[in-house]
Structure 1
Amino acid sequence: MRKLSISFIVVFLLIVILNFSFVSGSTMYNGVNNATATFKNMSYNDIDSSFARNDIMRMTGLSVIRGNGNRLYYPTNKLKREEALAMILRLMGREKDVQLAQNSASGGVPGAAGTTSSGMVDSWAQGVITVAKNAGLLSKQEQSLDFTKNATRQEIANWIAKGINLAPVYGKDAQYVYSYKDSSLFDADKLPYIEATIESSIMSGYNNGYFGPNDSITREQMAAVLSRAFNVSYAMMGYTKDEGYIEDIERDNVDGGVRHTYVLKNDSGQDIALVAESSPNTNYDFAVLKNGNAGLSSIISNGDRLTYYTNGSNVIFAETANSSIKTISGTIDSIWQGSFRLVDDSGNSYVINYNSNTLVTMNSVDASIDDLKFGETAKVTVYGDTATNIDVEYTDLSSDGQVSLGDRQDSGKIVDIETDNSQVSITLDNGSTYTVNADMPVVGTGAAISASDLKVGEYIKLYFSSINTKTPDEIFLEDDYNKPVAVIRGSIAGVSGFNPKIQLNDVEMYKQGQWNATSSYAMYSLDGASVYLDGSKISVSDINKYKGYDAYIMLENHYGTETATLVSIQSGFNMSYEGSIDYNGNTMSITLSDNRQVSINDGTIILEDGLLVPKDQLSKISEAYVSFARGGAANFISILDTSAPSGYYYVKGNIINVTADSITVGNYYYYSGSEYGDESLNNNEWVANGDETFYIGDKTYIVDNTGNSPSNIPYNEFLNQRYTGSNYYSAYVVASDSNAIAVNIRPLSSTDRVSKAVLSSSSGNVLTLDNVMDWNGLNNKWELNTSLDSIDATKAVIVKNNKVVSANDLKSGDNLYIIRDGALGIVITVQQ
Structure 2
Amino acid sequence: MKKLKTVLLIFAILCGMLLPFLQDKKTALAAQSLEGYIIDMNTQESWIKVEEYNGNQKQFKVTADTALNIDQIPVYLNDLKIGMEVYGEYNRDTLIYLESWSTENPGYIPPGGKVRAGIIKKIDRDQIILRLTSGKEETYYTTPATIAIKNSVNVPLSTLYEGDWVRLYFDEKDSDIISRMKIQGDSVKIKALYKGQLDAASMVDDALVLKNAQIFQNGSWQEYKNILRIDYLTNFPVYYAGKAIPFNNLKYLQGKTIYIAAKDFFGKDTAEKMVIKSQYETTFSDKIQEINWYASAFELKNKRNIDFNEGTIFIKNQRIVDGYSVTPGTDALVVADGKGEKALASIVYIYDQDINNSNIGQYYFYSGKLESVLENKVTLSDFFILNHNDWESFDDEKELYYDNDTYIFDMEKMKKITPEEFFAMDYGVGESSSSDRKSWYAYAYTDGDRIAAVVLKKDMDSLLRQRVTIGTINKIENDGAIGASVTLTDAKDWSSRNEKWMPKSLPVKVRIEKALLIKDDRVISFEDLQAGDSIYMLRDDFEGKFLLVK
Q: Same fold (TM over 0.5)?
A: yes
CA deviations over 1:550-598 (Å, ceiling 9, x no partner): 2110112222221123221113221111222233232222222233222
Give the aligned residue type for 2:495.
N
Match of 2:283 among 555, 576, 585: 576
Return the alpha-carbon distance in structure 2 between the equivalents of residues 457 and 800 of structure 1. Answer: 19
CA deviations over 1:16-64 (Å, ceiling 9, x no partner): xxxxxxxxxxxxxxxxxxxxxxxxxxxxxxxxxxxxxxxxxxxxxxxxx
Whether contact under 8 Å (1:533, 1:568) holds in the other structure is: yes
Return the alpha-carbon distance in structure 2 between the equivalents of residues 502 and 562 of structure 1. Answer: 11
Q: Is 1:478 aligned with 2:184?
A: yes
Return the alpha-carbon distance in structure 1 between the equivalents of residues 398 and 149 of structure 2. Answer: 39
Please name the residue that 1:610 is paired with. Answer: 318
* C-alpha displacement of 1:612: 0.9
* SS of structure 2 residue aligned to 1:517: strand
Give the aligned residue type for 2:453.
A
Q: Compare 775-784 and 335-344 and name the one that shifted more.
A: 335-344
Q: Is 1:712 aligned with 2:416?
A: yes
Distance 1:333 1:405, change over 3 A: farther
Distance 1:731 1:570, change over 3 A: same
Whether contact under 8 Å (1:409, 1:462) holds in the other structure is: yes
Runs of at least 5 residues in structure 2 that lack an aligned partner in the other structure = 1-42, 49-59, 100-108, 430-436, 478-483
Distance 1:438 1:688, change over 3 A: closer
Return the alpha-carbon distance in structure 2 between the equivalents of residues 471 and 500 of structure 1. Answer: 40
Q: Is 1:554 aligned with 2:276?
A: no
* SS of structure 2 residue aligned to 1:633: strand
Please name the residue that 2:34 is paired with. Answer: none
Match of 1:339 among 62, 67, 75: 75
Q: Is 1:587 aligned with 2:324?
A: no
CA deviations over 1:307-328 (Å, ceiling 9, x no partner): xxxxxxxxxxxxxx95356735
Match of 2:221 among 511, 515, 519: 515
Q: Is 1:641 aligned with 2:352?
A: yes
Return the alpha-carbon distance in structure 2 between the equivalents of residues 769 and 719 of structure 1. Answer: 38
* SS of structure 2 residue aligned to 1:567: strand
Match of 2:404 among 667, 674, 698: 698
Please name the residue that 1:797 is paired with. Answer: 516
Return the alpha-carbon distance in structure 2 between the equivalents of residues 821 and 579 of structure 1. Answer: 26
Q: Is 1:377 aligned with 2:89?
A: yes
Match of 2:467 among 750, 754, 775: 754
Whether contact under 8 Å (1:798, 1:805) holds in the other structure is: yes
* C-alpha displacement of 1:542: 3.8
* C-alpha displacement of 1:605: 1.3
CA deviations over 1:97-122 (Å, ceiling 9, x no partner): xxxxxxxxxxxxxxxxxxxxxxxxxx
Whether contact under 8 Å (2:467, 2:540) holds in the other structure is: no
Q: Is 1:596 aligned with 2:304?
A: yes
Match of 2:209 among 503, 513, 532: 503
User: For residues 46-65 of structure 1, what are the structure 2 equivalents within 5 Å?
Assistant: none
Which structure's residues are more often helix, by fraction? 1
Whether contact under 8 Å (1:816, 1:830) holds in the other structure is: yes
Distance 1:323 1:376, change over 3 A: closer
Return the alpha-carbon distance in structure 2 between the equivalents of residues 739 and 408 of structure 1. Answer: 35
Distance 1:509 1:705, change over 3 A: farther
CA deviations over 1:289-318 (Å, ceiling 9, x no partner): xxxxxxxxxxxxxxxxxxxxxxxxxxxxxx
Return the alpha-carbon distance in structure 2 between the equivalents of residues 442 and 649 of structure 1. Answer: 21
Distance 1:470 1:524, change over 3 A: same
Match of 1:826 among 523, 545, 549: 545
* C-alpha displacement of 1:333: 7.6
Distance 1:418 1:651, change over 3 A: closer
Return the alpha-carbon distance in structure 2 between the equivalents of residues 324 and 741 of structure 1. Answer: 53
Return the alpha-carbon distance in structure 2 between the equivalents of residues 825 and 748 of structure 1. Answer: 15
Give the aligned residue type for 1:485.
K
Whether contact under 8 Å (1:332, 1:376) holds in the other structure is: no
CA deviations over 1:432-488 (Å, ceiling 9, x no partner): 332222563322424442333222222222234433222343312233765532111
User: For residues 777-792 of structure 1, what are the structure 2 equivalents within 5 Å?
Assistant: 777-787=496-506, 791-792=510-511
More contact order relative to length (CA 8 Å, sep ≥ 6): 2
Return the alpha-carbon distance in structure 1 between the equivalents of residues 69 and 203 of structure 2. Answer: 31
Return the alpha-carbon distance in structure 1 between the equivalents of residues 276 and 79 of structure 2. Answer: 37
Distance 1:436 1:759, change over 3 A: farther
Distance 1:812 1:450, change over 3 A: farther
Whether contact under 8 Å (1:754, 1:817) holds in the other structure is: no
Runs of at least 5 residues in structure 1 that lack an aligned partner in the other structure = 1-320, 352-374, 393-402, 667-676
* SS of structure 2 residue aligned to 1:601: coil
Please name the residue that 1:567 is paired with. Answer: 274
Whether contact under 8 Å (1:757, 1:816) holds in the other structure is: yes
Return the alpha-carbon distance in structure 2 between the equivalents of residues 566 and 800 of structure 1. Answer: 29
Distance 1:658 1:642, change over 3 A: closer
Distance 1:505 1:702, change over 3 A: same
User: For residues 397-408 of structure 1, what are the structure 2 equivalents within 5 Å?
Assistant: 404=110, 407-408=113-114
Please name the residue that 2:494 is paired with. Answer: 775
Question: How high is the TM-score relative to the length of structure 2?
Answer: 0.69
Return the alpha-carbon distance in structure 1 between the equivalents of residues 279 and 472 of structure 2. Answer: 33
Return the alpha-carbon distance in structure 2 between the equivalents of residues 417 and 716 of structure 1. Answer: 39
Q: Is 1:538 aligned with 2:272?
A: no
Whether contact under 8 Å (1:704, 1:745) holds in the other structure is: yes
Return the alpha-carbon distance in structure 2 between the equivalents of residues 413 and 555 of structure 1. Answer: 17
Match of 1:628 among 326, 332, 336: 336
Give the aligned residue type for 2:285.
E
* SS of structure 2 residue aligned to 1:437: coil
Which structure's residues are more often strand, by fraction? 2
Distance 1:332 1:499, change over 3 A: closer
Distance 1:450 1:782, change over 3 A: same
Q: Is 1:458 aligned with 2:164?
A: yes
Q: Compare 698-707 and 403-412 and name the one that shifted more.
A: 403-412
Distance 1:784 1:598, change over 3 A: same
* C-alpha displacement of 1:348: 5.2
Whether contact under 8 Å (2:473, 2:535) holds in the other structure is: no
Distance 1:803 1:486, change over 3 A: same
Return the alpha-carbon distance in structure 2 between the equivalents of residues 691 and 335 of structure 1. Answer: 49
Return the alpha-carbon distance in structure 2 between the equivalents of residues 407 and 682 of structure 1. Answer: 43
CA deviations over 1:47-101 (Å, ceiling 9, x no partner): xxxxxxxxxxxxxxxxxxxxxxxxxxxxxxxxxxxxxxxxxxxxxxxxxxxxxxx
* SS of structure 1 residue aligned to 2:325: helix
Whether contact under 8 Å (1:685, 1:777) holds in the other structure is: no
Across the aligned residues of Structure 1 and Structure 2, the Cα RMSD in angstroms comes to 4.3
Give the aligned residue type for 1:713.
I
User: For residues 662-741 of structure 1, what are the structure 2 equivalents within 5 Å?
Assistant: 662-663=377-378, 665=380, 677-681=382-386, 684-687=390-393, 689=395, 694-706=400-412, 710-721=414-425, 723=427, 726-727=437-438, 729-735=440-446, 739-741=450-452
Return the alpha-carbon distance in structure 1 between the equivalents of residues 181 and 157 of structure 2. Answer: 8
* C-alpha displacement of 1:510: 2.1
Give the aligned residue type for 1:605.
I
Return the alpha-carbon distance in structure 2 between the equivalents of residues 692 and 441 of structure 1. Answer: 31
CA deviations over 1:513-536 (Å, ceiling 9, x no partner): 322333232111233233222223
Give the aligned residue type for 2:272.
T
Return the alpha-carbon distance in structure 2 between the equivalents of residues 471 and 793 of structure 1. Answer: 41
Distance 1:434 1:332, change over 3 A: farther
* C-alpha displacement of 1:625: 1.2
Please name the residue that 1:233 is paired with. Answer: none
Give the aligned residue type for 2:220.
Q
Whether contact under 8 Å (1:448, 1:809) holds in the other structure is: no
